[in-house]
Chain A
């Protein structure tokens, strides 16, 4: 549990720590991709304060895949929105790649998102009057990719998510699960070093979930950092680490271990796994 662990919280989270290398010389550990210090968000609801995030210290290292779980209303969306600069924190600090980010203005955040953050919204947010293909290519083009590179990347992503034949459709013509996969493809178009995804499989059946899981596995192997909000235990079980929120606070934070030590079994184990 990280909350009481000074290593993951407070001042140590701000800057890359200096650690001893194998040879005893001092070398700088890479900065965490994300680190927050006592992060708080209080919404005002008709003058009534609604605390959504209450003092979160979270540190995510480069290449880590972190799942955020917790009941509805526990502050998961609010937290990732703040990490992506889509919502302003009430107090506390946000550091991205060792730089203070919570004090940035809107245009600086927009630039950051274009350069290194891919964001998948819980409710998609696709551009309504553009085709699926254009929705996915746009971020790459905005970030300066050539039209050919943007097109190839789009073709790869739509293919991996089973959406090739929907490329010419408008978002409104798509089923919820299709829009959701388009939103994921769009977020990955730039090969962002940080993917923030809010319930990216919330509307998918198990076959489409499998496609998304495969793509996330690919992204993870490529070394991109993933912070993903999910209720789906299949998705969460693939993460290196699961952070559980309750009432805006982290109540558990740890690696997903192996259930039991045993030789690689066959599917015959299922009956015993569940028995």
Chain B
């Protein structure tokens, strides 16, 4: 959440609720709607670290609102975030650990574990298909996120095939 808020503030100063709306607008339905409380907590931490600066703005007949600005240090942190490579997908997959460890204890056999997991992945894929089907075709960001999830699932299934060939 921290770098997302810094990136939005690099575009223009904003108050907490505007940041929530901006995130919803950009990611559409592809991202869980951010919790406003979580946004304020994060902004508070960023302010404590000197990455943003809050300016009180008076409002008629209402409590002051805080408008957040990016500081020079915030700009640096944002640049560092954009420049560094992003972590790839995890490979210490929990299912894989189960597959290796469970048969040792005699709790379950590998073939059963793999077959059950394949059905689970396929059911997830079916969910993603349905989700894609009812997502507005104009919502490119959401559809790309769904497609990414599908490609990851496909890789998981291919890996399952490899496990079945080599471990059974």
Contact = CB atoms under 8 A, between A and B. Distances in A.
B147 A206 contact: yes
Interface stretch (A53-61, A102-110, A254-262): A254-262
B154 interface: yes
Interface stretch (A12-20, A132-140, A164-172, A231-239): A231-239
B167 to A, nearest CB: 11
B154 A265 contact: no
A6 interface: no
Interface string B122-151: 111111110110110001001101110110
B66 interface: no
Contact of B29 (A242, A252, A254, A267): A267
B59 interface: no
A237 B135 contact: no
A209 B91 CA distance: 28
A266 interface: yes
B83 interface: no
Contacts of A264: 134
B29 A237 contact: no
Interface string A128-147: 00000000000000000000
B20 interface: no
B129 A258 contact: no
Nearest to A272: B32
A71 B165 CA distance: 7
A273 interface: yes
B8 interface: no
Nearest to A246: B164
Interface residues of B, number: 42
The B interface is mostly helix, strand or loop, or mixed, namely: helix
Given A267-B29, A273-B128, A234 B150 contact: yes
Contact of B119 (A213, A242, A267): A242
B40 interface: no
B128 A244 contact: no
A272 B149 CA distance: 10
Given A237-B122, A274-B152, A268 B127 contact: no
Nearest to B153: A233
Interface stretch (B50-58, B67-75, B92-100, B155-163): B155-163
A-B pairs, 10 with minimum CB distance: A237-B125, A259-B123, A252-B115, A237-B126, A266-B29, A267-B29, A267-B142, A268-B32, A71-B161, A267-B30
Interface of B: 28-33, 111, 115, 118-129, 131-132, 134-135, 139, 142-143, 145-147, 149-150, 152-154, 157-158, 161-162, 164-165, 168
18 contacts: A69-B118, A234-B125, A234-B129, A238-B129, A246-B168, A256-B123, A257-B119, A258-B123, A258-B127, A259-B126, A267-B28, A267-B145, A269-B32, A270-B128, A270-B145, A270-B149, A271-B31, A271-B145
